[in-house]
Amino acid sequence: MNKVIGFIGAGNMGEPMIRKLIEENVFKKDNIMVTAKTFETRQRIHNNLGVKICEELSEIATNADYLVLAVKPNQYEEVLHQIKDVIKENAIVISIAAGISSKFMKENLNDGTKFVNIMPNTPVLVGEGLIALYPNDTLDKKDYVELLSIFKAFGRVELVDEKLMDAVTAVSGSSPAFVYVMIEAMADAAVLSGLKRDQAYTFAAQAVLGAAKMVLATNEHPAKLKDNVCSPGGTTIEGIRELEEKNFRSAIIDASLAVAKKSKSMSK
């Protein structure tokens, strides 16, 4: 793509997104502009990724056709205030922040400025992320087509209604952390039983990866896939009994609802 993409912020989420756009050849390095608050981050991004570094927000805003706001939600208001009058004509401002609504974007941008709200998750780093995108009336069909061609570098893209974004934050944004806890626990058990630590993580992580692929690739109901692993009177069903006794399902549901509730309370 010959257009220019700018990133304001290059932390846990911004940096992997930039890296993926380079790896997937969606933008040439020369067409990627990045800024961050501190000199250290700007220097690190320059050294690691070789993209154009800017010191001024206005330099990015006046040049970028796509402008990703990869700062924390509580920095959005200040950053939008600084750039809203100098955003390039027809540019699309991309919000990736949890809890930032389309109403907030409209209120903090000038009339007519295009924007889109998306919710990525950290597996974008390995091209297995999920980008939830909710449409709004500032964009036309051509804009969506272009945005989808960019976002597919990060993994899957799903269109959702804005009112479902709190649920999306739980099931996609936060759930990788739940899975890491499970992988760690699975590996601890394997280590207790004598496996080496690094091998234990490999077994646990590969099992989770394989199970997730089975769900997506076969389209089978997860319960059916579970049933397939549980032989009558066998080993796996013993583990399932323990999980049910310890309220595993209920813990996951409660954790997800807690995330959605927090997300709702933080939204603006």
Ligand X SMILES: NC(=O)c1ccc[n+]([C@@H]2O[C@H](COP(=O)([O-])OP(=O)(O)OC[C@H]3O[C@@H](n4cnc5c(N)ncnc54)[C@H](OP(=O)(O)O)[C@@H]3O)[C@@H](O)[C@H]2O)c1
Residues that bind ligand X (CB under 6 A): 8-14, 35-38, 41, 57, 70-73, 75, 79, 96-98, 119-122, 173
Query: Which CB atom, from 41 or from 113, has the smaller least distance to ligand X?
Result: 41
Q: Cβ neighbours of residue 134 under 8 Å, at least 6 residues apart? A: 102, 117, 118, 159, 160, 161, 162, 165
CB of 252 to ligand X, least distance (A): 19
SS3 assignment, position 132: strand
Alpha helices, H only, the chain: 14-23, 39-49, 57-63, 76-83, 102-108, 141-151, 165-168, 175-192, 197-218, 222-229, 236-245, 248-266
Which CB sits closer to ligand X, 92 or 120?
A: 120
Minimum distance between the CB of residue 103 and ligand X, rounded to whole angstroms? Answer: 17
Give the rounded distance of the alpha carbon of 238 from its chain centre.
Answer: 35
Residue 138 or 263 having the CB closest to ligand X? 263
Phi and psi, residue 101, nearest 5°:
-90, 170
Least CB distance to ligand X at residue 118 (A):
9
Based on CB atoms, which residue is closest to ligand X, 86 or 240?
86
The residue nearest ligand X at its CB is 11
CB of 14 to ligand X, least distance (A): 5
From the CB of 209, what's the least distance to ligand X, in Å? Answer: 19
Alpha carbon 58 to chain centroid, angstroms: 26
Residue closer to ligand X, measured from CB, 175 or 202: 175
Q: Among 255, 72, 95, which residue's Cα sits nearest to residue 176?
A: 255
